[in-house]
Amino acid sequence: MIPIEKRRGFTLIELLIVISILAVLAAIVFVALDPATRFKDTRDTRRFSDVAELLHAIKINQVDNDGAYISTITALTDGNIYMIGTGLTACAANPCDAAVTSNSSCVSLAALVSGGYIESVPISPTGVTTWTAVLSGYTLSKTSTGAITIQACESENAPSVTLTR
């Protein structure tokens, strides 16, 4: 038998104590970082970026056309809320922070894509609802003074994702 002084390595108890301490520390770090909240924040940040990009493209196009909006925006009824997308009907089928006026309240911004103002119409990241090119997850409304409001249909940690110019 080897004397206790000559043994090398760790006992089972020492290993279990170290593993349990590491597990507690990992749990504390996991809770402190709260990955679910970070993912929600990331999706909201993407929505803020998309809303700003859309509004910027609309305004740059307006400047390039001597103050006139593209025809699809000009034709909108002031004060109504329209779903941005490629669909022509069933635009109000999905839940939205800003209630779309009716099932036929759709607006296509394809002219901004073909005009080179944006690469493609953005689609809201999937949160509660899965969005597509038909229903992008973003709404547009126009006031009688010409102000445009773009809003994300859903926000997860932010009160709302809205921009008006």
The pTM assigned to this predicted structure is 0.81
Separation of alpha carbons 77 and 105, rounded Å = 10
pLDDT digits (tens, 9 = 90+) for 38-69: 899 999 999 999 999 999 999 999 999 999 99
pLDDT tens over the chain, length 165 residues: 556 666 678 889 999 999 999 999 998 887 788 888 889 999 999 999 999 999 999 999 999 999 999 999 999 999 999 999 887 778 876 678 788 888 889 999 999 999 999 999 999 998 778 898 888 999 999 999 999 999 999 999 989 999 999
> If you ran DSSP here, which 8-state letter would residue 41 be given?
H
Angle between helix 35-64 and helix 12-33 axes, rounded to 10 deg: 30
